[in-house]
Amino acid sequence: MAVGTIVWLGSEVMFFAGLFAIYFTLRSTSPELWEFETNRLNFPFALGNTLILVASSFTCQFGVFAAERMQARSTGWKPTQWGAAEWFFLTYAMGAIFVAGQIFEYATLVSEGISLSSNAYGSAFYLTTGFHGIHVTAGLFAFLFVIGRIFSVQKRNFGHREATSAIVVSYYWHFVDVVWIGLFLVIYVLK
């Protein structure tokens, strides 16, 4: 299962490489448009949303560490005693906040006249960030699946299969985080 996921993520790298190519190609043909439109982005908001997503990668990894030591659920109220389920719930919440932040940003930009069909910048922005948002949402469903598996087995029956599922979902989550860091740098930093 893990090897298949890694191979599939390789194809996802190529998909996002194509989106980056579209973005850079359109940017090179319309530098004035890019300069005008990128100045309308809310960098502090995007940075805060990015930090939430990056932090979720850490909470995800803590969930993996708990799964690797076969600790499905909490043994106490302190985060040092949390199991995979608690860490994945926190990761899920942070991912959901990120998606909600993206939706808020989209609504704000649309109200300012930047839409998917407004110009080349709008098309490139919404295609790249939108496909990423779809991937994050898919990751949220994957977390729900893993959390459901954790709660469907008794604590003593949490085994290698459940731990492997947690690890595979973490590969995907780390992937979407790394892709977002690249998108954030290209869209919000390298104006």
Is the pLDDT at 144 greater than 90? The verdict is yes
pLDDT, one tens digit per residue, over 44-55 is: 999 999 999 999
At residue 2 the predicted structure's pLDDT band, cuts being 50, 70 and 90, is: low
Neighbours of 15 (CB within 10 A): 11
Contact partners, residue 20, CB within 8 Å, separation at least 6: 128, 182, 186
> How much of the chain exceeds pLDDT 70, in percent?
97
Of the pLDDT bands very low, low, confident and very high (cuts 50, 70, 90), residue 156 is: low
CA distances from 118 to 18, 23, 109, 114, 177 (A): 21, 15, 11, 6, 28
Q: Is the pLDDT of residue 112 over 90?
A: yes
Residues 6+ apart with CB under 8 A from 155: 72, 73
For 51-176, where are the E strands, in sequence order?
none
- The pLDDT of residue 64 is 94
**Mean pLDDT on 74-91:** 88
Give the pLDDT of residue 157. Answer: 76
- Mean pLDDT taken over the chain: 90
Reported as a single tens digit per residue, the pLDDT across 5-49 is 778 878 888 888 898 898 999 889 999 988 899 999 999 999 999
Q: Please state the pTM of the whole predicted model.
A: 0.90
Domain range summary for the chain, segments of one domain joined by +: 2-189
Tell me the two tokens of residue 148.
């459901």
Superfamily of domain 2-189: Cytochrome c oxidase, subunit III, four-helix bundle (1.20.120.80)
Query: Where is average pLDDT lowest: 2-6, 11-15, 178-182?
Result: 2-6
